[in-house]
Amino acid sequence: MKKFGLSKEERIKLKKLFALVYANGTIVYSRNHNLKAIYYQENCIKPKVKVAFAVYKKLGNAVWRNRVKRLLREAYRQNKQGLISEAINKKKFVLIVFSPNNFNQKKNKKIFLKNILPDFIELMNQIKSKI
């Protein structure tokens, strides 16, 4: 696993894993409710962190939604080391789905990494503390 990459093994791909997160997960919001994360954790012999990025269709057109997903992936890729090390230390298997909550195309025509990063780091720290 690359230090700053985001491989297929690190992503949630299976429908049953998505269903597990949405059915049993805990919802965490950033301070100003711009982003939210749903995470599920369980004890495991082989600890791992898997993530997904979901953007609802009602938030904007396809170009805008794909940009938001790219920015969320980049924010995770740059800040994942602390979360992964925490999961390994506590022997947890963690599934996380990140999505925007108050960001939409009407309010934010142009969106940049600097708009997302502070809220994203706050969410990562909340999840790290609750693992």
Tens of pLDDT along the chain (131 residues) come to: 567 778 888 999 999 999 999 999 999 999 989 899 999 999 988 899 999 999 999 988 999 999 999 999 999 999 999 999 999 999 999 999 999 988 888 988 898 999 899 999 999 999 999 98
Could you tell me if residue 3 is inside a domain?
Answer: no
Longest dimension (CA), the chain: 45
Distance CA 103, CA 72 (A): 12
CATH number of the domain where residue 47 is located: 3.30.230.10
* Conformation bin of residue 91: beta by default, left when phi > 0, alpha when psi is -120 to 50: left
Could you tell me if residue 2 is inside a domain?
Answer: no
Distance CA 113, CA 49 (A): 22
Question: How many domains is the chain built from?
Answer: 1
Q: What is the pLDDT of residue 24?
A: 94
Could you tell me if residue 105 is inside a domain?
Answer: yes
Domain that holds residue 99: 8-130
Could you tell me if residue 108 is inside a domain?
Answer: yes
Distance CA 127, CA 131 (A): 6
Q: What is the pLDDT of residue 104?
A: 85
Q: What is the pTM of this model?
A: 0.90
Could you tell me if residue 65 is inside a domain?
Answer: yes
Could you tell me if residue 1 is inside a domain?
Answer: no
Could you tell me if residue 88 is inside a domain?
Answer: yes
* Conformation bin of residue 114: beta by default, left when phi > 0, alpha when psi is -120 to 50: alpha
Radius of gyration of the chain (CA): 14
Could you tell me if residue 52 is inside a domain?
Answer: yes
